[in-house]
Amino acid sequence: MGKAEKTRQFIIEQAAPLFNKQGVAGTAISDIIKATNLAKGGIYGNFSSKEEIVMEVFDYIAEEEKLNLRKVTATASTSVGKFEALFKYYSRFPRDQRVAGGCPMLNFGVEADDTNPGLKKKVSELVLYYESRIAKMVQYGKDNGEFEQDWDERKFAIKMFTMLEGAILVSSVLGHNKQMLVVLEALREEIKQHSL
């Protein structure tokens, strides 16, 4: 990685928690200048606009989130174990976060819904990625004799993802994970119902 690429990456990494916490509209170039200690020319020498920074920041956060998901589930060899590893991770929310400021899918998704079609598309792709990973975990369990063959992995993936995102929102607003723990227990129960 050359000097220009390193500077660009540094700006992205420093801007990520700002956009995730303060939002796109709430984050000014002056905030990025302050966080990076770079001059305005240092920012615009690497990015043509704030919009370009936002898109690159979301790509960076999305890759961090995907990496984290793979890391959390890699510790287990069974599908049930992978789900339990995920549930253990989510039970610690909002304390354990890869990028400060809460869930980037919620933060960027709500803001981009009506104002930024490009960013909305990126958020949609991340949502579908998460759902596909959950569906693959169910399919993996079906292939290995852990789950009933007639369990619809796509419907469960949509349900699980949506329940977790709702619990993340409520946990963030209330500042505790009581609702998250109830959601995780409901998901565990459904997994048990389909286990062999």
pLDDT tens digits, 62-91: 998 899 889 999 989 999 999 999 999 999
Bridge partners (DSSP) listed for residue 158 = none
CATH number of the CATH domain containing 126:
1.10.357.10
Interacting residues of 148 by C-beta distance below 8 A, sequence separation 6+: 142, 194, 195, 196
Kindly indicate the confidence band of residue 95, based on its pLDDT and cuts at 50, 70 and 90.
low
pLDDT tens digits, 35-50: 999 999 999 999 999 9
| Residue 12 included in any domain | no
Q: Name the nearest CA neighbour of 51 among 25, 17, 30, 14.
A: 25
| Residue 178 included in any domain | yes
Structural domain for 136, as ranges: 55-193
Phi, psi (rounded to 5 degrees) for 147: -125, 155
pLDDT tens digits, 146-167: 999 999 999 999 999 999 999 9
| Residue 151 included in any domain | yes
| Residue 10 included in any domain | no
Q: Which residues of 68-79 are buried (b: 16+ CB within 10 A; e: fewer)?
A: ebeebbeeeeeb
58 alpha-carbon distance from chain centroid: 10
pLDDT tens digits, 21-36: 999 989 999 999 999 9
* Domains: count for the chain: 1
Interacting residues of 78 by C-beta distance below 8 A, sequence separation 6+: 141, 144, 146
| Residue 7 included in any domain | no
| Residue 32 included in any domain | no
Mean pLDDT of 55-68: 92
| Residue 98 included in any domain | yes
Least confident of 59-63, 93-97, 131-135, 171-175: 93-97
Q: What is the pTM of this model?
A: 0.89
